[in-house]
């Protein structure tokens, strides 16, 4: 295990690169300040601040993007209370959960459980309940997340008036849909939307995905 002193790179940190990336953002975002637990989170991850993941963990409390639609986890903040270490405890097995969205989708870095492409980003899609490869790494994911490509990615998962509905949604919540989006009857326009805890949604997805796999 590397010490925090070894992980904090004072000579070539990734933070300036991230800040430059955000200067060119096409979407609104909120870059949150780091929490008092940032060293603990960085140490738990065992990644250097020379990397974008390490910098997000150490230098920020996280990122809230596009009216709160997308939440990128860091060291935590009152406006985004979850952090990369606590959130993955008991959840991230063979992958690291790094972001999630308002419709109960989850983004993760593959560390072996999702495929042979170690370090690649995956999306657990609420309309399929399958881990889908994004074919990009974490750094490119950050650039993509604040670009106009985000709207194209979510085509079919947004409804009329979604921006207004997000005004009452907290960053530790998401919308849960019934009928489920992965069913023939489910749709973002036709299904009933309920605000629930993001942790509750994750556990529900685990149970439902296991049931679907057993039927396959």
- pLDDT over threshold 80, residue 165: yes
Fold of 4-150: SMI1/KNR4-like (3.40.1580)
| Whole-angstrom distance, CA of residue 62 vs CA of residue 64 | 7
Higher pLDDT, 92 or 47: 47
Domain ranges of the chain: 4-150
pTM: 0.96
Question: Partners of 174 in the beta sheet?
Answer: 196
- pLDDT over threshold 60, residue 79: yes
Q: What does the pLDDT read at residue 214?
A: 63
Classify residue 135 by burial, with Cβ atoms within 10 Å: 0-12, 13-18, 19+: exposed
- pLDDT over threshold 60, residue 63: yes
Contact 53, 98 (CB under 8 A): yes
DSSP characters over 16-52: HHHHHHHHT-SS-EEEEPPPTTHHHHHHHHT--TTSH
| Six token digits for residue 177 | 């849909």
Quickly tell me which residue has 């690169």 as its tokens. 17
Q: What does the pLDDT read at residue 211?
A: 83
Per residue in 189-200, pLDDT tens? 999 999 999 999
- pLDDT over threshold 80, residue 216: no
| Whole-angstrom distance, CA of residue 25 vs CA of residue 146 | 5
The whole-number average pLDDT for the span 28-49 is 98
The whole-number average pLDDT for the span 104-131 is 97
The whole-number average pLDDT for the span 159-188 is 96
| Whole-angstrom distance, CA of residue 15 vs CA of residue 86 | 23
Backbone CA torsion sign across 136, 20, 74, 9: positive
Quickly tell me which residue has 């990122």 as its tokens. 63
- pLDDT over threshold 60, residue 108: yes
Per residue in 11-27, pLDDT tens? 999 999 999 999 999 99
**φ and ψ at residue 65, rounded to 5 degrees:** -125, 145
The whole-number average pLDDT for the span 106-116 is 96
Split at pLDDT 50, 70, 90, the class of 212 is confident
Classify residue 21 by burial, with Cβ atoms within 10 Å: 0-12, 13-18, 19+: middle
Q: What does the pLDDT read at residue 92?
A: 79
- pLDDT over threshold 70, residue 215: no
Average pLDDT taken over every residue of the chain: 96
């Amino acid at each position: 295990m590397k010490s925090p002193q070894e992980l904090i790179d004072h000579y070539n940190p990734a933070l300036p690169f991230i800040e430059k990336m955000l200067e060119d953002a096409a979407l609104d975002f909120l870059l949150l300040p780091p929490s008092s637990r940032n060293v603990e989170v960085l140490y738990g991850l065992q990644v250097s601040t020379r990397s974008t993941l390490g910098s997000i963990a150490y230098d920020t409390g996280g990122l809230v993007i596009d009216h709160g639609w997308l939440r990128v986890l860091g060291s935590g903040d009152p406006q985004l209370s979850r952090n990369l270490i606590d959130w993955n405890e008991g959840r991230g097995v063979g992958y690291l959960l790094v972001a999630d969205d308002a419709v109960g989708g989850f983004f993760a870095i593959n560390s072996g459980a999702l495929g042979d492409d170690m370090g690649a980003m995956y999306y657990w899609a609420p309309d399929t309940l399958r881990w889908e490869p994004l074919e990009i790494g974490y750094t490119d994911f950050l650039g993509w997340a604040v670009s106009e490509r985000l709207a194209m990615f979510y085509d079919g998962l947004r409804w009329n008036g979604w921006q207004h509905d997000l005004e009452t949604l907290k960053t530790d919540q998401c919308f849960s849909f019934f009928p489920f989006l992965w069913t023939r009857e489910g749709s973002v326009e036709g299904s009933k939307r309920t605000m629930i805890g993001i942790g509750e949604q994750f556990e529900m997805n685990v149970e439902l995905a296991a049931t679907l796999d057993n039927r396959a």
